[in-house]
Amino acid sequence: PRPACVYRQGIPGPHQVAITFDDGPDPTWTPQLLKILKEKKVPATFFILGCQAQQFPDLVQRIQRDGHEFGNHTYTHENLGEISDEKICLELNATTRLLESITGHSTSLFRPPYNGDGNPSTPGELRALQVASELGYLTVGESIDPNDWEQPGVQAIMQRVKTQRAQGGSVLLLHDAGGNRSQTVAALPKIIDYFHARGDEIVPLSAMIDLPDDILMPPLRKADVTLATRYVYGSFATLRFLEMVAWSLLVIATLISLIGILFYIGCAIRHRKIERLKSFNLEPSPSNLVPASVVIAAYNEERVITSTLEHLVNSSYNAPLELIIVDDGSQDQTAAVIETFIEKNRFQKNCTILLIRQPNTGKSTALNRAIEAAQHELIVTLDADTMVTPTALQELMAPFSDPKVGGVSGHIRVGNPQKWLGRFQQIEYEFAFEVNRRAQDLLECITVLPGALSALRATALRQLGPLPTETLAEDTDLTLQLQRFGWKITYAPLALADTEAPSTIKALLSQRFRWAFGILQCLWKHRTLLLSPGSGLLGWFALPSIWIFQIGLIALTPILDIMVICSLFWGRGSAIWPYFCISLMLDMSLAAVAAHFAGRSAWSAWRALPMRFLYRPLLGYITWKSLTKAAAGSWVRWSKLERTAAAIREKECDSPGNHRRWKMEDGR
């Protein structure tokens, strides 16, 4: 074994000094420094970052035109002592190939980031210098380093230069990028004047080691110039274009989100004011309630169906109530559980319960069977795990005093928000109903009557015919068809119900894929409504909003987040991060507003931060999967969420939380 040896070369004359700049070029500071150098007629050497050269190739060309030397400062400003040999080679080769394609000249000059060249003392630093040497690079050190990147002040920079120059320093290190370099710009003319006053000659690096520029920065051969210009530069230009596209999309997405959020929140606030003004007129009293039918399609619901039925029969709806449950070929004990419940409640006042059993044919077909058996004009659709609040049905029936109303949307809440996945969905649901649904109701362009809790007019259903079965989002399909026939769709924000949200990632992906693909089917089926004359705000606002906010932004957001994170390694983070932080603040602000509207603490909005990185990527994956399946024309089956009765257990275990869940309806 023998110790590693670092050989130094270049013996400057006693009055020779070289000026070098790291980390550039930068469109703000490099032109100012070049102007000073030109006015003072002194040369310099710029150690260029590849990522900066990719963004500002014109500045690299200007450095060359002004007669300055340039060197390699890696591509992404990595600490070379901490990365592999292969990545060191990639960093150096990528930057040199880019400089060749921009200038037509190569470079043998190299300076590692983080001052790893000054006094190498670790195996990693020595290894980095060895790799660079084997690639043919000359590592350039420095002997005058005023640490201008600290921004200590012009006078401090000058004093450090004077002190180190007096000690024999000859290579000055400054920075033309990487932050605010106004102090460097202000100090440079003073430094040059100081050197001249001492009788120093400012020379290029090539003069110090007595090597001509043709060796340090050799011109490319004609064939190599063609190759570099056509392929290498074209590749880097493509990367720059893609980065600019991502940058533009991030800015556009941020602006669209800001405008959309402000508009939706404004509409939601207006809707709440109107709701408060009309609440006394709209609230029905027990004396004017009308008979209603509740239809439920049940498939393997033995864990949850009893709770659903108990909440219905114990509600404060005093008019005759007809419960029709269609057991759609369940493979568990759903039918037996329902029959047991019917037997126990056969003497229930004003409430009759009918069980219909049939082979499994799908939810839409089961609901059609239940609707055919319904005896009343107003029909409530419920999922088998929906737990209505005592006054939910009463609130749901109120808007039907308007004969133009064909459907009323209820307000669905997550019944199992105790785990992180449930809490993320709680934020999502609160926005959907407290902000989005209120805004759509104000503008009369609701796009979905949720199957978990909605009410329909039988006359409208008979006009439409059977519920659509060709899409996976039958509730959205039905809502759009009702509006095609001229029926008004409205929203009852106090018709509250809790439902079980997926508690595992697998269940979430399965449910959301069905929803996303079903919405794409509905958008395609009803595509003639989009931006068509006479479609009103449904075609000119609501449906475009689905494409922009529910599909476009959800698909792009995870990709943009990855681009922002990668920008830290590409050296572009300082430019992109402000927009990214604004985007995060928008997410949290929206979550805070929705939580406030829902009667919860706005401080819970902090969950929108981890939600952005843990939950949104899942939705983005689902959106891309749905788009891919739709583009391929794939057949997608209807998948059902496996019930765990988690919402029921949480309501039973969290008795103090129950009064919080009912606060909106009790306090109105």
Query: How far is C-alpha 153 from the chain's CA centre?
Result: 40
Query: Is 66 annotated as catalytic?
Result: no
How far is the C-alpha of 76 from the C-alpha of 92, rounded, in Å? 10
- DSSP 8-state secondary structure symbol assigned to residue 533: T
Burial status of residue 241 (CB atoms within 10 A of its CB: 0-12, 13-18, 19 or more): exposed
Residue type, 288: N
Angle between helices 85-103 and 123-134 (to 10 degrees): 40
Catalytic residue among 22, 23, 145, 587: 22
Cα-based torsion angle of the residue sequence 455, 457, 460, 462 in order, rounded to the nearest 10 degrees: 100
How far is the C-alpha of 160 from the C-alpha of 77, rounded, in Å? 25
Angle between helices 505-525 and 616-632 (to 10 degrees): 50
Give the number of other CB atoms < 10 A from CB of residue 630.
16
How far is the C-alpha of 251 from the C-alpha of 67, rounded, in Å? 37
Bridge partners of residue 633, in order along the sequence: none
Is the separation of the CB atoms in 572 and 50 below 8 Å? Answer: no
Is the separation of the CB atoms in 421 and 503 below 8 Å? Answer: yes
Which of 413, 363, 329, 328 lies closest to 518 in space, CA to CA? 363
Tokens matching residue 133: 């040497």
How far is the C-alpha of 207 from the C-alpha of 201, rounded, in Å? 11
Query: How far is C-alpha 647 from the chain's CA centre?
Result: 28
Cα-based torsion angle of the residue sequence 71, 75, 78, 84 in order, rounded to the nearest 10 degrees: -100
> β-pairing, 453-457 with 378-382?
antiparallel
Burial 429-454 (b: 16+ CB within 10 A, else e): bbbbbbbbbbbbbbbebbbbbbbbbb
How far is the C-alpha of 58 from the C-alpha of 103, rounded, in Å? 10
Catalytic residue among 73, 77, 175, 311: 175
By residue count, the chain amounts to: 668
Residue type, 120: P
Query: Is 22 annotated as catalytic?
Result: yes
Q: Which residue has the tokens 């920079």?
A: 157
Handedness of CA 331, 332, 336, 340 (dihedral sign): negative
Q: Which residue has the tokens 């605010």?
A: 180
Handedness of CA 252, 253, 254, 259 (dihedral sign): positive
Q: What is the largest CA-CA distance in the chain?
A: 111
- DSSP 8-state secondary structure symbol assigned to residue 153: -
Is the separation of the CB atoms in 435 and 264 below 8 Å? Answer: yes
> β-pairing, 488-499 with 405-414?
parallel
| Residues belonging to the active site | 22, 175
